[in-house]
Amino acid sequence: MTITAPGLELRQLSRELEGRRLLDGLDLQVAPGECVALLGPSGCGKSTTLRLVAGLDPASEGNVLLDGEDLTLREPGERQVAMVFQSYALYPHLSVQGNLELGLKVRGVPAAERRQRIDAILDLLQLGSLRHRRPAQLSGGQRQRVALARALLRQPRIVLLDEPMSNLDAQLREELRPELRRLLCGGEQPVIYVTHDQQEATGMADRIALLEGGRLQQVGTPRELYENPANRFVASFLGRPAINLLPMAHRRQLGLRPEHLILGEEGPLAARLLRREWWGHQQLLWLESDQGPLRLLTSAAAAMPPQPRLSWQRRHELWFDADSGARLAP
């Protein structure tokens, strides 16, 4: 028996459905209190992973372990997992209180204790005034908080969040991020946060696991992924505007992030301005160079030289194999 660290550990977790490999040998560890974001385009396997951890779908291979205990074959109800769905999955026929209470009732928690726990959680999330409302009478943000309250009430050993903010508008999302972190992360439970939005992932998570085609591409802190991407996919997926990829000799590609290009009168590349996008204190320049089109992010105040040329620092260069997309040493 291998000694495992406390927290959640996924070992070679796989799921195959009708001959399609939805998830392929995922190895991932989430420490207690750590928040790991599963990031990737749709169909990459991130929701599949969540459902395997929750036990809603059976794993074809591999194991789910919590504090060394194998949960792989456990019923979902026995895993003490709390999950917040993208739709919030609030019971439409029950009030806020009813939504919170149903799980406790089902588990046979006595009435007095139910009341007490619900009161506490309603206080914590400042939902007291909405107690008797039905889901249909709540705003999107309120629904999300009720779903969160319900998840916390479970006293979960694992917290799973499936795109919990994708139904909210951008402003609300930004506002809620710190509160979500305060409530969920830094406690005892490992948290897995599924999102397709890199900004949300970098804002919420301690580490990001980037998935593509059912395979883990890279796992690390947001900064590690940004500065030291394992391959071209990671480099392209993270960072906005997306990285510039220049074809080079020997079937190699040079990756240069738009924010790392320097606009001046000197440099290895000549460029011509096509279009300008104003981003407040910054501007995005669409350029045409000998190596093809390029994006360049610079201060809004920067002026356009008459004969613009581009340069960059060596340390910002990211080299890839043009065919496999693998990262190459410079």
Partner 1 sequence: MKLSGAKALLMLPALLLLVAVFLYPLLRYGWLSGHASSVLTGLRPVPNGGANWQRLIEDVRFWKDAGQTLRFAFCSVALELAGGLGVALLLHQPLRGRGTLRALTLLPWALPTTVMALGWRWILNDPHGPLNAALRSLGAPSYGFLTTPATTWFFAVLADVWKTMPFVALLLLAGLQSIPADLEETLRLEGASRIQILRRLTLPLLVPYLSLALLFRLAQALGVFDLIQVLTGGGPGGSTESLSLYAYLNAMRFLDFGYAATVMLATFLLLAVLLGVGWLLLRRARIARTTGGPA
Partner 2 sequence: MPLRRLRAGLRRPPGIPGPLAVGLSALLAAMLLALGVAPGLGRLQGAAPQPVPIRALMPAPLADAVAGPVARFNAKNPGVRLEVIRGPLDTEAISDLAISSLLLGEAPFDLLLVDVSWLAKYVAAGWFTPLDGWFGPEVLAAMEPGARLGNSIGDHLWRMPLTGDTGLLYWRTDLMDRPPRDTDELVAISRDLQRRGKVPWGYLWQGRQYEGLSCVMVEVLQAFGARWWDGASGATALDSPEAVAAASWLDGLLRHGVSPASVAGFTENDALQMFAAGEAAFLRNWPYAWREIEKADGPIRGKVGVTTVVAAPGRQAGGTLGTWGLSLIRGSPHPEEAVTAIRWLTGETVQRQLALEQGYAPTWSRLYDDPELQRQAPLLVVQRAALQHPEPRPLTAAYAQLSDLLTRQVNGMLTGQEAPAAAMASAQRQSLQVLRSMVGTPAAAGTGP
Partner whose binding site includes residue 27, from partner 2, partner 1, none (CB under 5 to 8 Å by kind): none
Contact 256, 317 (CB under 8 A): yes
Least distance CB 193 / partner 1 (angstroms): 17
CA distance 226 to 39: 13
Among 5, 17, 41, 87, binds partner 2 (CB under 8 A): 87
Question: Should residue 135 be labelled a site residue for partner 2 when binding is judged by CB under 8 A?
Answer: yes
CA distance 17 to 145: 34
Question: Should residue 136 be labelled a site residue for partner 2 when binding is judged by CB under 8 A?
Answer: yes
Question: Should residue 92 be labelled a site residue for partner 2 when binding is judged by CB under 8 A?
Answer: yes
CA distance 204 to 208: 9
Question: Should residue 89 be labelled a site residue for partner 1 when binding is judged by CB under 8 A?
Answer: yes
Among 2, 18, 42, 93, binds partner 2 (CB under 8 A): 93
Partner whose binding site includes residue 78, from partner 2, partner 1, none (CB under 5 to 8 Å by kind): partner 1
CA distance 48 to 25: 12
Among 17, 107, 264, 272, binds partner 1 (CB under 8 A): 107
Nearer residue to partner 2 within complex by CB, 89 or 168 = 89
Q: Which amino acid is at 177?
A: R
Nearer residue to partner 2 within complex by CB, 86 or 236 = 86
Query: 10 Å Cβ neighbour count for 169?
Result: 10
Among 154, 252, 309, 316, binds partner 1 (CB under 8 A): 154
Q: Is the C-alpha dihedral spanning 96, 204, 261, 305 positive or negative?
A: positive
Token pair 């071209």 is at which residue? 232
CA distance 187 to 181: 10
In sequence order, the 6+-apart residues with CB closer than 8 A to the CB of 228 are 220
Residue 18: which H helix or E strand, with range? none
Partner whose binding site includes residue 212, from partner 1, partner 2, none (CB under 5 to 8 Å by kind): none
Question: Should residue 76 be labelled a site residue for partner 1 when binding is judged by CB under 8 A?
Answer: yes
Given the rule CB under 8 A, which of 56-64, 84-92, 230-238, 258-266 is the region that contacts partner 2? 84-92
Question: What is the edge-to-edge ordering of all strands in the sheet holding 20-30?
Answer: 20-30, 8-17, 61-66, 69-70
Interacting residues with partner 2 (CB under 8 A): 87, 89, 92-93, 135-136
Interacting residues with partner 1 (CB under 8 A): 54-56, 76-79, 81-83, 85, 87, 89, 91-93, 95, 97-98, 101-103, 105-107, 132, 134, 150, 154
